[in-house]
Amino acid sequence: MREPTQAEVRRELEGGLPGLRPPRRVVVVGAGLAGLATAYELAGRGCDVTVLEASDRPGGRAYTLRQPFADGMHVEAGAMTVTPHCHYVMHYTRELGVELDTADLLDTEFAYYLRGRFLRPDRESIATSGLPLTEEELHLDVPGMVKRYVTGLADELQPDLGAEEWRCTPRLAPYDQRSVYEVLREHGASPMAIDLMEPMFLEMRGGDLKSASALAWLRHEASPHALTNADPRWSKIKGGTDRLPYAFADRLRDRIHYRKPVVRVRQDAESAEVTFLEHGSPRTITADRVVVTVPFSAIRHIDFGEAALPADKIEVMRTLKYSSIVRVYLQVRKRFWQGDAVSFSTDLPVRWLRDATPHNDGPRKILECLLTGWRARTIAAMTDEERVAFALDQVEQVLPGTREHFELGTSVAWDRQPHVEGSYILPEVGHEKLMPIIRRPEGRVHFAGEHTGFEPNGGSMTFALESAARTVLELDRAS
C-alpha cells in the first residue's frame, strides 16, 4: 500500500473524498479530534464504526473547563487558538456549523516580570534594563532579536524549510541533529536573549530548548502558525473549544461508547480484536481494521503483545517525549489591576500569567498561570489545592491584591490527566527519523492523532484532524 502524501490528503478531503470504499467494520480507539473525525468520515460512507473512549466526554485535549467558575465563565485547559492556516479546523468548523470568534491571545499588553521588575519588550526598556545581553542585543527590542536569530536563519533555509509538503532535505537534516538552544547559541544569541525570546516561541509550546530539535522548531517558526508571524485574524472556537468535538459527537451519537478503556489490541491475517473494560470486566469485539488515536504517552495501558508490532514501532511508542504543561486558574472578584488584557512572562516558576477572560462582561475575571517543562512536572506532583496555593503566592508577587480578590481556583496538569499523560509531542533531536515509524500502519492496526502528523511539530488540532483524513485514505487503499 502506498502511503498518501500530505498534499494528497488535503486535495482528497477538499474534494469530498470521492469514491471512498472504507472497510466494513472499523473500531476507533479514542474520541479526541483525530478519533472523532476518522469515525465521522467512515460513518458517512456506510462503514460500521465503533468508537471506544476511556473517559466520559469527547474531545481529549480539546477540553473546555466550565466548572467551578461563576457567571458562566469558562477557560481552555488544552487547545485554544486557531489560525487561518489551520486548514482542517476551518474545514470541519464550516462543515459542522461551529462558529469562530476573534482570539484574545494577541491583543494583550505583553510585558516581562524579571528579577522583581516589569520590563517591556521595546528597545528603550531593553537598553536600560541592565540585563546581561551582548552589545548588539542591547540595541534591539525582543522582536528584533527574533528577527536577528530566528527569522534570519529560517530565511536562509528557504525554500526547503517552508515547502508546502514537509520533506527533510539534505540542507535541513543537520538541524535535526542539534537542539534549539545549541543553534541559537551558535548564531550568537546570549542565554539572556534566549530567555527573552522563549515566550515568543517554545515556552508557549512547553518545549525544552536543550532537547527540542532545532529543525522541528524552525519549521514551525517559518510557518504561519508561529506566534512570531501572528496574523491578526487568529481565532478561537466561539463558546469554547469543546464545541467542535461535541459537534462531531452529535453526528456520531451512539457509535461512541464512553468509559470504555481499551486494554488490548490483537490481530491476525483475517481480523483484528479489541478488548476494552465495561464496568471493570473485559469485553472483546472484532473488526476488519482498528484505528488507534491514543497519544503514545498513554499507550502503555494497552497490551499490543499479540498485535505483531515491529520492534521499531514498540521502541518509539515507549520513548516518544511529550511536553509537560500545567495550567492553574484563579477566579478573582473583579479586575483590580491597571490596563486591559494583561499578559506577563516571568522568571518565576509560573512562567506565564494572563487574563484568560479579557472579554468577559461581568466584573469577575480568571487569571491563568502556565507552567512548562520541569516546573510543570514539579507542580504536577502536588494536589489541586496545593497547586492553587502555590500559584497564588507567585501571582501575588506580580499582581499585588490577587490574594485579597481571590475566590476560587483549579488546575489541569496534563502529565497527570488520565488517558493523555502529556500535553503534546516534544520533537527531540533526531525526531525526523521517527516520523514515518510513528504513523506507519501495522497490518490491520492504523495510527492517527496529533503525534502521527506529517509536520514535525504536530501539537495542534489541525494536525490531529489531518491525521484522521490521512487514515481514512489509508483504510480505503488497504481494503
Stretch that binds ligand FAD, among 1-9, 48-56, 90-98, 168-176 (CB under 6 A): 48-56
Residue 225 vs 405, nearer CB to ligand FAD: 225
Least CB distance to ligand FAD at residue 422 (A): 8
CB of residue 468 vs ligand FAD: minimum separation in angstroms? 8
Residue 4 near ligand FAD by CB under 6 A: no
Strand partners, 343: 110, 354
Using the minimum distance from each CB to ligand FAD, give the nearer residue, 129 or 460: 460
Among 30, 240, 427, 456, binds ligand FAD (CB under 6 A): 30
* Options 33, 43, 153, 189; binder of ligand FAD; rule CB under 6 A: 33
Q: Report if residue 349 touches ligand FAD, rule: CB under 6 A.
A: no
Q: Is 456 in the site for ligand FAD (CB under 6 A)?
A: no
Among 38, 50, 267, 293, binds ligand FAD (CB under 6 A): 293
Instruction: Check residue 424 for interaction with ligand FAD (CB under 6 A).
Output: yes
Number of residues that bind ligand FAD (CB under 6 A): 39
Q: Does 287 bind ligand FAD (CB under 6 A)?
A: no
146 contacts ligand FAD (rule: CB under 6 A): no
Residue 39 near ligand FAD by CB under 6 A? no
3-state secondary structure the chain: CCCCCHHHHHHHHHCCCCCCCCCCEEEEECCEHHHHHHHHHHHCCCCEEEEECCCCCCECCCCEECCCCCCCCCEECCCCCECCCCHHHHHHHHHHCCCEEECCCCCCEEEEEECCEEECCCHHHHHCCCCCCCCCHHHCCHHHHHHHHHHHHHHHCCCCCCCCCCCCCCCCHHHHHCEHHHHHHHCCCCHHHHHHHHHHCCCCCCCCCCCEEHHHHHHHHCCCCCHHHCCCCCEEECCCCCHHHHHHHHHHHHHEECCCCEEEEEECCCCEEEEEEECCEEEEEEECEEEECCCHHHHHHCECCCCCCCHHHHHHHHHCCECCEEEEEEEECCCCCCCCCEEEEECCCCCEEEECCCCCCCCCEEEEEEEEHHHHHHHHCCCHHHHHHHHHHHHHHHCCCHHHHEEEEEEEEHHHCCCCCCCCECCECCHHHHHHHHHCCECCEEECCHHHCCCCCCCCHHHHHHHHHHHHHHHHHHC
The torsion angles phi and psi of 122, rounded to 5 degrees, stand at -85, 170
Q: Does 65 bind ligand FAD (CB under 6 A)?
A: no
Q: Which residue is nearest to ligand FAD (CB)?
A: 32
Q: Which of 27, 29, 98, 434 binds ligand FAD (CB under 6 A)?
A: 29
Determine if 227 is a binding residue for ligand FAD (CB under 6 A): no
Going residue by residue from 230 to 269, which x/- string records binding to ligand FAD, judged by CB under 6 A?
Answer: -------------------------------xx-------
Q: Is 202 in the site for ligand FAD (CB under 6 A)?
A: no
Binding-site member from 460, 470, 471, 472 for ligand FAD (CB under 6 A): 460
4 or 59: CB nearest ligand FAD: 59
Question: How many angstroms separate the Cα of 82 from the Cα of each of 60, 149, 295?
Answer: 17, 26, 21
Q: Is residue 294 part of the contact set for ligand FAD (CB under 6 A)? A: yes
Q: Which is nearer to ligand FAD, 142 or 294 (CB)?
A: 294
- Residue among 183 and 350 whose Cβ is closer to ligand FAD: 350
Shortest separation between residue 19's beta carbon and ligand FAD, angstroms: 26
Contacts to ligand FAD by CB under 6 A? 29-35, 52-55, 60-62, 78-81, 261-262, 293-295, 298, 301-302, 325, 414, 419-420, 423-424, 449-450, 459-462, 464
